[in-house]
Structure 1
Amino acid sequence: MFAAVVSGVLGGCHRVPAEEAVRHAVTAAEHAAEAVDAGAFRDRLSEDFTGNRGQFDRRQLVDLLRLARLRGETIHVLMGPVSVEPHGDRFVATFTVTLTSGGRLLPSDMGVYRVESAWRQEGGDWVCYSATWSQPSP
């Protein structure tokens, strides 16, 4: 009995490969955005996050989600395949994302985007510290 318990505990303690952990973090950010959950989305961004080369910071993106939540907006997120590449102890995740909204706050910002995001580990969590996004040319 004791051996079975120890085996089960040790078996559950395996480390998730970093690339897989980054994929999970990207998915968690996607789900937080779609749930219009500013707190959960904030948890996926580093405190020094910068978006689109300084156009956005962590506070601005989180406040946008808070405002969307207050206005009863819905956000739908459809992600394409995520490519994750190591860069030393950090990772770059690239993907396409299609955003649609059921409200009026975000319509000009909705559409298809190509996203490149940079991730690092802080504590035990993977957080995005930089991201750029742009709409593909027609």
Structure 2
Amino acid sequence: MNKRFRIVLLGMAIGLAGLLVGCHRTSDEERIRQAIASAGHAAEQADVSALSDVLSDDFDGNGGQLDRRQLTGLLRVARFRGETLHALVGPLQVEQRGDRYIARFSVTLARGDKLLPAQVGIYDVESAWRREGAKWVCFAASWKT
């Protein structure tokens, strides 16, 4: 083999390896982790649409205490009032159960002005996720202090 041919062959091999790495499919667990991060960011930005994107239409919060409409309504009120919200998601565990997933994590929610929070709450959260089309949505969540 001549030198030029080997260089071309090596270049093609490197290019193919790059394509294979670039085509890596995001795991379902990683998609759920990303959705949880998106929900936290949506809460901080009071972005009702972004929060709605990660909740199923039949979302059930804390055993019937809060549905999707009520949860997004609370975020709408916070936005209307100009309230500042902060959400810090703690360690996250994601466990597959059949074709669904359970995610457990802690979240620290703070509300108040920009310098010091007026209220702080730390919650242990367990959320249930299912695939709807191409995305994962939270269909149930429970939390306790």
TM-score bin, normalised by smaller chain: 0.7 to 0.9
Counterpart amino acid of residue 143 in structure 2: W
SS class of match (1:15): coil
- 2:51 matched residue in structure 1: 41
SS class of match (1:14): coil
Work out which of the two has the higher radius of gyration on C-alpha atoms and give 1 or 2: 2
Percentage of identical aligned residues: 55
Q: In 2, distance between residues paired with 1:99 and 1:16?
A: 29
Q: 2:41 aligns with which of 24, 31, 37?
A: 31
Structure that is richer in helix per residue: 2
Q: In 2, distance between residues paired with 1:57 and 1:74?
A: 23
Aligned length: 132
CA RMSD of aligned residues (A): 2.3
CA contact (8 A) 2:60 2:140 kept: yes
| 1:134 aligned onto 2:144 | yes
Structure 1 residues 43 and 19, CA gap change in structure 2 (3 angstroms): same
TM-aligned CA deviation for residue 13 of structure 1: 3.1
Pairing 1:1-138 to 2, within 5 Å after superposition = 11-102=21-112, 110-135=120-145
Q: What TM-score results when the alignment is normalised by the length of structure 1?
A: 0.85
Write the deviation string for residues 6-65 of structure 1: whole angstroms up to 9, x where unpaired: 876664332111111111111111111111111100111000000000011000000100
Q: What TM-score results when the alignment is normalised by the length of structure 2?
A: 0.81
Counterpart amino acid of residue 78 in structure 1: L
TM-aligned CA deviation for residue 108 of structure 1: 9.8
Structure that is richer in strand per residue: 2
**Unaligned runs of at least 5 residues, structure 1:** none
